[in-house]
Amino acid sequence: MQKHLLSAGDLTAGDIARVLDTAAHLAKVTDRAIKKVPTLRGRTVCNLFFEDSTRTRISFELAAKRLSADVINFSAKGSSVSKGESLKDTAITLEAMGVDAIVIRHGASGAPWRLAEWVQAVVVNAGDGTHEHPTQALLDLYTMRQRFPSFDGLKVAIVGDVLHSRVARSNVLALTTMGAEVTLVAPPTLLPARVETWGVAVSYDLDAVLPKQDVAMMLRVQLERQRAGFFPSLREYARLYGLDGRRLDAMADHAIVMHPGPMNRGVEIAAEVADSIERSVIADQVANGISVRMALLYLLLGGPEVTT
Amino acid sequence: MSGPAMVLDGADVHRALVRIAHEIVERNKGTDGLVVVGIHTRGVPLARRLAGKLEEIEGRPVPAGALDVAMYRDDIGMRPPQATHDTELPFELAGMVVVLVDDVLYTGRTVRAALDALTDFGRPRAIQLAVLVDRGHRELPLRADYVGKNLPTAPDQAVRVLLDETDGSDGVVIEEPTTKAVAS
Amino acid sequence: MSRLLLRGGRLVDPASRHDGTADVLVEDGRVVEVGSGLDGTGAEVVDCDGLVVCPGLVDLHVHLREPGREDAETIETGSRAAALGGYTAVCPMPNTDPVADNAGVVEMVAARGREVGLVEVFPVGAVTLGQRGSELAELGAMARSAARVDCFSDDGRPIREARLLRLALEYARAFDAVIADHAEDASLTDGAQMHEGEVSAMLGLAGWPAAAEEMVVARDLLLAELTGGRLHLCHVSTAGAVEVVRAARARGVRVTAEAAPHHFTLTDEAARSYDPVFKVNPPLREKADVEAVRLGLADGTLDAIATDHAPHAREDKEVEWATAPPGMLGLETALAVTLTELVEPGYLDLAVAVERLTVGPARCRRVSGHGGPVAPGAPANLAVFDPAAVWTVDRARLASRARNTPFHGRQLRGRVVHTLLRGVFTVCDGQATR
């Protein structure tokens, strides 16, 4: 594995399998009386979150603590107006403090790449702008693997605002690496340029695609996208691309619904569907998120330090 | 540069396990309150075989478990992260005598990691150690209670235990170094 | 020493169609004789064997940042960078603070350039007040000022309203001045960070489609045709734009156009590192666009190479991509990049390359006294370079105050040895004289 985890595209199929296997073993730590192993004792992991995300931050924090690492939380809402000096100055400070890993969530695509230029620590991308969220993709794959024996030929539909979704990009990369068949479903305005070069199928018709899928991953649609004119109204979006009871019934019996959370009831997911699946989706997210992040921290920090 | 030399063949391995099983029964006056836990990787099939032999001798089943020590090693950060395996301890440890099983006892560091791992799961009444081969060169003050064969070795030699479950046949071989060897 | 003999160099002077070994005799700031075997008595003799002698380079499009952002560059540091790049004339854009939309600021910029004395500064005035795009600035006052501005631009910003560009093109005819437009449809590029394409889609950065430039180029050409005004197109970067200009020229539309070295060398792939040194407006485009710009410079559709030298304070570029201002340095590397990327692979021969860097730009507006011809009576604004010298760009060793060169670490062929401004060395043996 490479020194940093910046993009899901950096991981080979072997790397991904290794992360998932290790996560499966580490999942058992949660079931013990002593929910800790001493593996990363004496290491320091810094959560550098420029965007609010309590769930992801706590997930990383718990993962690090279960490995006996020390955790510092740095919550900085940097704005573009502040010339980003917060990022480089912060990096220099953390470097001087001698942290071993920095988990960064930032509103600007590419911020983790810049951070990696300025620090010796291992950098983990916890979400950068509209670019990637590799640990989310790994936990999504872990969830899929719990229910399906193999990724090879697994039919996964990713539905919604692909253009602005870092979860979508990372999942496309990881799933195609593992041999899954990915279909993107969205209005044309919410698909990225040249998406046909991504090794995925593309459709504007959810009803045609959904019954054949093993997994339906519903992306969150942000309200400002409607205001920016990407689709005429939330009502029309929900009608064409929302997962409602009718569409849920049309799915195969073995198929599962996933959502990176939090859900927008009435938009990408109808209220009644949300109620019936929300609990299991969230439960998977939380438990699997910690296991996957433990596995990642172990694999990234458990070896000799790589100086760049 | 000689090739690997087989110092124990399949029959030797079998006899050693039978003898160890008898020693365990003798020392613990039976198998009541006893569990066998193998250290990944080859300690696990050895533990299962031992549990089977103990059952043959005493006529009652002996629980067997598996312990992964990757997370407890003392060389984390010194070599690439080791592969992890499942830990299965389907029994309460409190009040039990745990017989830890491994294929080779060498520096003692793996056993130390296993002791730490085990105690994170509970507090056994006692822990005993059974190994198929003791090759000497301890780096920690640890010893085995049951030894299949004592094999004096040079540090640059490699000792390999082969088991039917993992390698297709049983045996113990010593490999001479072909280049300057690194003690593991 | 007021007498100087440049001996034995290859004199490449496109304005007089000269390309061959010649001596150039300079006295009191002017060329007095060009020929072979000239008598050097009483003159300082400069051996130019193996070197190319040409008119001093002319840059139609630079940002000197003074007044207002002297932390990024000053007229002095920018002039020094220009001289080291072989330039004797530069045209600084008006997007300073205060904006150069009146006689006072343009005169101050020109005067400061004279005071520094390393290049001749020909300021570009703003088209609209404050470059806000709503009211015309006093073009006449600037044209009649001591700075004699004959080129106006709102560069950095597009002139959004066709009506306003039309008025500017018409009004400027009174002064025979050029309107240089930065062609960009702002509604299509709102929030854009780089070129829209396969790379931007993967990098999660909002994109600037090529069409946003081409649409406005087409509009500007139609307005030039309508008004009979003099139009110049800044930093043309797309294949479509080159094509539209080529077709308009063929129709007889009066237009000149420039391209920047980064647009004929780098592509949007450079953005994958997320290093904002590669962030620029218009953005780095795709391979096909780079190729089209090269061919456009080759066949003369694009008249000039202009650097769009855009210095930024170091900390301004050491940030996340989205936060960084666009712009790249260009003055010190333009000649070498041109030789390495256009001449060496055979897109242009040396004489044409020199043309696009000297008389080509000089003719886009009135940059009098620069660009050649190198002939008796002409001011001795000259450059001497070694076309074979190989060097590696080191951003820490640039004369510019800023460091944002996209060519850091790149090996280039071609290096300026001497630059002369009115017969006086501004650069001697590769070092600035002051």
Q: What DSSP string describes B27-56?
A: HHTSSTTEEEEEETTTHHHHHHHHHHHHHH
Judged by a CB distance cut-off of 8 A, whether residue B83 touches chain A is yes
User: In this predicted model, what pLDDT tens digit does every residue of C156-208 receive, in sequence order?
Assistant: 899 999 999 999 999 999 999 999 999 999 999 999 999 999 999 999 999 99
* Tokens 């090879």, located at residue: A152
CB B104 within 8 A of CB B130: no
Q: Residue C411: which pLDDT band, with cuts at 50, 70 and 90? A: very high
C196: contact with A, CB 8 A cutoff: yes
Q: Is residue A179 domain-shared with residue A259, that is, in the same domain?
A: yes
C424 closest CA partner among C15, C122, C116: C116
Answer yes or no: do A193 and C201 touch at CB < 8 A: yes
Task: Please tell me the total count of domains within chain C.
Answer: 2
Domain-embedded: residue C75: yes
Q: Is C205 on the interface with A (CB under 8 A)?
A: yes
Provide the pLDDT for residue A82. 45
Sequential DSSP letters for C404-419: --TTTT-EEEEEEEEE
* CATH number, domain with residue A255: 3.40.50.1370
Q: How far apart are CA A262 and CA C58, in angstroms?
A: 58
CB-nearest to B71 from A37, A299, A303 is A37
Q: Residue B98 is part of a domain; what is its CATH number?
A: 3.40.50.2020
> For residue B38, what are its two tokens?
């193998």
- In chain A, which residues touch B (CB < 8 A)? 18, 21-22, 24-26, 28, 32-34, 36-40, 43, 67, 298-299, 301-305
Q: Do both C119 and C167 map to the same domain?
A: yes
pLDDT of residue A83: 47
- How close A145 comes to chain C (CA, Å)? 26
Residue with tokens 């029959």: B11
The whole-number pLDDT of residue B2 equals: 57
Q: Which of A4, A133, A169, A259 is catalytic?
A: A133
Mutate to test the interface with A, among C202, C205, C208, C273 (most CBs of A within 10 A): C202
According to DSSP, the β-strands at C120-121 and C151-153 are unpaired
Q: What is the mean pLDDT of residues B15-37?
A: 97
Torsions phi, psi for A113 (to 5 deg): -65, -40
Q: Are residues A266 and A207 in the same domain?
A: yes
* Residues A26 and A113 occupy one common structural domain: yes
Q: Residue B155 phi/psi, 5° resolution?
A: -60, -30
CA gap B49, C102 in Å, rounded: 95
Number of domains chain B contains: 1
- Report how far residue C430's alpha carbon sits from residue A307's, in angstroms, rounded to the nearest whole number: 38
Q: Coil, strand or helix: which one is B100? A: strand
The C-alpha of A84 sits at a distance from chain C's nearest C-alpha, in angstroms, of 5
C308 catalytic? Reply is yes
**Phi and psi (nearest 5°) for C33?**
-155, 145
- Give yes or no: residues A27 and A139 share one domain: no
Expressed as residue numbers, the domain containing C280 is 56-364
Residues C267 and C183 in one domain: yes
| Beta carbons of C321 and A109 less than 8 Å apart | yes
Q: Which of C16, C52, C62 is nearest to C305 (CA)?
A: C62
Judgement on whether residues C268 and C407 belong to the same structural domain of the protein: no
- Subunits close to C (at least 3 CB pairs below 8 A): A
Regarding whether C164 and C105 lie in a shared domain, the answer is yes
In whole numbers, what is the pLDDT of chain A averaged over residues? Answer: 92
Give the DSSP letter of residue A266.
Answer: T
Q: Which residues of C336-347 are buried (b: 16+ CB within 10 A; e: fewer)?
A: bbbbbbbbeeeb
Give the three-class secondary structure for A306.
Answer: coil
Asked if A108 and C198 come within 8 Å (Cβ–Cβ), the reply is no
CB A154 within 8 A of CB A188: no
Q: Could you tell me where the DSSP H helices lie in C146-301?
A: 162-172, 198-203, 210-227, 239-250, 287-299
What is the domain-level CATH number for residue C359? 3.20.20.140
Are residues A267 and A155 part of one domain? yes
For the domain that residue C34 is a member of, what is the CATH number?
A: 2.30.40.10
Q: How far apart (Å, rounded) are the C-alpha atoms in residues C223 and C169?
A: 8
Quick check: helix, strand or coil at residue C304?
A: strand
What count of other Cβ atoms lies within 10 Å of the Cβ of residue C146? 12
Are the CB atoms for C2 and C420 separated by under 8 Å? no
> Is C102 found in the same domain as C208?
yes
Nearest CA in chain A to C203: A131
Residue C401: pLDDT band (50, 70, 90) is very high
Number of domains in chain A: 2
* pLDDT tens-digit profile, chain A (308 residues): 899 999 999 999 999 999 999 999 999 888 888 899 999 999 999 999 998 888 899 999 999 999 999 999 987 664 433 444 578 888 998 999 999 999 999 999 999 999 999 999 999 999 999 999 999 999 999 999 999 999 999 999 999 999 999 999 999 999 999 999 999 999 999 999 999 999 999 999 999 999 999 999 999 998 888 788 899 999 999 999 999 999 999 999 999 999 988 888 899 999 888 888 887 788 888 899 999 999 999 999 998 887 76
- Whether the model pTM is above 0.80: yes
Query: Given phi > 0 = left and psi -120 to 50 = alpha, else beta, which region is C131?
Result: left
Q: Residue A233, Cβ neighbours under 10 Å: how many?
A: 9
The mean of the pLDDT values for chain C is 96
Q: Which of A81, A131, A136, A198 to mutate to test the interface with C (most CBs of C within 10 A)?
A: A131
Could you report the per-residue pLDDT of A127-143, keeping only the tens digit for each?
999 999 999 999 999 99
Whether residue A114 lies within 8 A of chain C, CB to CB, comes out as: yes
CB contact under 8 A, C204 and A83: no
The beta-carbon neighbor of B77 closest among A22, A299, A302 is: A302
Residues of C in contact with A176 (CB under 8 A): none
Regarding whether C175 and C137 lie in a shared domain, the answer is yes
Interface membership of B81 toward A (CB under 8 Å): yes
- A133 annotated active-site: yes
- Arithmetic mean of pLDDT, C80-94: 98
Is residue C155 one of the residues assigned to a domain? Answer: yes
| Per-residue confidence (pLDDT) for residue A280, from 0 to 100 | 78
Which chains share 3+ C-beta pairs under 8 angstroms with B?
A
Give residue-wise pLDDT tens across range A262-293: 888 899 999 888 888 887 788 888 899 999 99
Domain extent for A111:
8-133+286-301
Tell me which H or E stretch contains A63: helix A54-66
Residue in A113, A197, A198 closest to C274 by CB = A113
- Is residue A201 in some structural domain? yes
Q: Is residue A307 part of a domain?
A: no
Domain that holds residue B21: 11-73+84-154
* Whether residues C11 and C157 fall in one domain: no
Give residue B179's pLDDT. 60
Residue A34 lies in a domain: yes
Q: Which residue has the tokens 């797309």?
A: C238
CB A179 within 8 A of CB A151: yes
Q: Is residue A308 part of a domain?
A: no
Say whether both A56 and A103 belong to one domain.
yes
Residues 117 through 176 of chain B touching chain A, CB cutoff 8 Å: 117, 120-122
C80 and C30 fall within a common domain: no
Closest A-chain CA to B87: A25
Task: Give yes or no for a contact between A128 and A108, defined as CB atoms under 8 angstroms apart.
Answer: yes
Domain assignment of residue A30, yes or no: yes
Chain A contact partners (≥3 CB pairs within 8 A): B, C
A159 and A125, same structural domain? no
Q: Considering C364, C395, C421, which residue would you say is the last residue of a domain?
A: C364
Is residue A306 included in any domain, yes or no? no
Distance CA A235, CA C17 (A): 69
Q: End-to-end CA distance of chain A: give it in Å, rounded.
A: 15
Strand ranges across the sheet with A44-49? A70-75, A44-49, A101-106, A122-128
pLDDT tens profile B137-159: 999 999 999 999 999 999 999 99
Q: Are C90 and C195 in a shared domain?
A: yes
Q: Rounded to an integer, what distance in angstroms lies between the CA atom of residue C369 and that of residue C148?
A: 14
Q: Which of A38, A40, A302 sits opposite B116 (nearest CB)?
A: A38
How far C401 CA sits from the closest chain A CA (Å)?
Answer: 19
A305: chain B residues, CB-CB within 8 Å: 77
Task: Please give the ipTM for the structure prediction.
Answer: 0.89
- Partners of B158 in the beta sheet? B175
- The residue of B76, B91, B109 whose CB has the most chain A CBs within 10 angstroms, and thus the best one to mutate to test that interface, is B76
| Whether residues C200 and C274 fall in one domain | yes
Cβ contact C61:C307 at 8 Å: yes
Question: Distance (Å, rounded) from C-alpha B58 to C-alpha C333?
Answer: 88
Residues 6+ apart with CB under 8 A from B150: B133, B134, B136
**The two three-digit tokens of residue C113, written as one number:** 């350039």
**Which tens digit of pLDDT belongs to each residue from A54-90?**
889 999 999 999 999 999 998 766 443 344 457 888 8
C372 assigned to some structural domain: no
Query: What gap in Å lies between CA C326 and CA C312, rounded to an integer?
Result: 9
Residue C318 near chain A (CB below 8 Å): yes
And the tokens for C385? 């370079």
Q: Specify if C373 maps to a domain.
A: no
